[in-house]
Amino acid sequence: DAGVIQSPRHEVTEMGQEVTLRCKPISGHNSLFWYRQTMMRGLELLIYFNNNVPIDDSGMPEDRFSAKMPNASFSTLKIQPSEPRDSAVYFCASSSRKGLAGGANTGELFFGEGSRLTVL
């Protein structure tokens, strides 16, 4: 398996622009997570999907952030409009344990390589 695939790996954009990050989870995994990582705050859960349904989006910073999972093999995280404080590395992770809660109570999280976002 190719693992969790994220794109783009790097994105540089100007404040106010729309940013779309993409994720393809590992085939067969039923849970998908979007995380944001910064030096100051470490890894933060943004949103968690189980069987393509958003279960917990309490970590989404504000209405400028939205995430979708139209099918089991694809998810997007959109920021519109982007701001400089959104600069971070955004990770997508998937897991295969049934009934998993927003961070894998027992299951291993498989992370993608991340999308490094810089908003100027």
Partner 1 sequence: KNQVEQSPQSLIILEGKNCTLQCNYTVSPFSNLRWYKQDTGRGPVSLTIMTFSENTKSNGRYTATLDADTKQSSLHITASQLSDSASYICVVSAAGGYQKVTFGTGTKLQVIP
* Region for residue 70 given its phi and psi (left: phi exceeds 0; alpha: psi -120 to 50; beta: otherwise): alpha
Best CA proximity match to 113, nearest among 96, 95, 97, 89? 89
**Residue closer to partner 1, measured from CB, 14 or 108:** 108
CB of 16 to partner 1, least distance (A): 27
Residue 71 phi, psi (nearest 5): -155, 175
Dihedral, CA of residue 108, residue 21, residue 84 and residue 16, to nearest 10: -150
Minimum distance between the CB of residue 26 and partner 1, rounded to whole angstroms?
12
Q: Which is nearer to partner 1, 4 or 19 (CB)?
A: 4
Residue 44 Cβ vs partner 1, minimum distance, rounded to whole Å: 8
By beta-carbon proximity to partner 1, the closer residue of 9 and 80 is 9
Closest to partner 1 by CB, 81 vs 101, is 101
Question: Which stretches of the chain bind partner 1, using CB under 8 A?
Answer: 4, 41-45, 55-56, 91, 93, 101-106, 108-109, 111-114
Structure tokens at 104: 């894998």
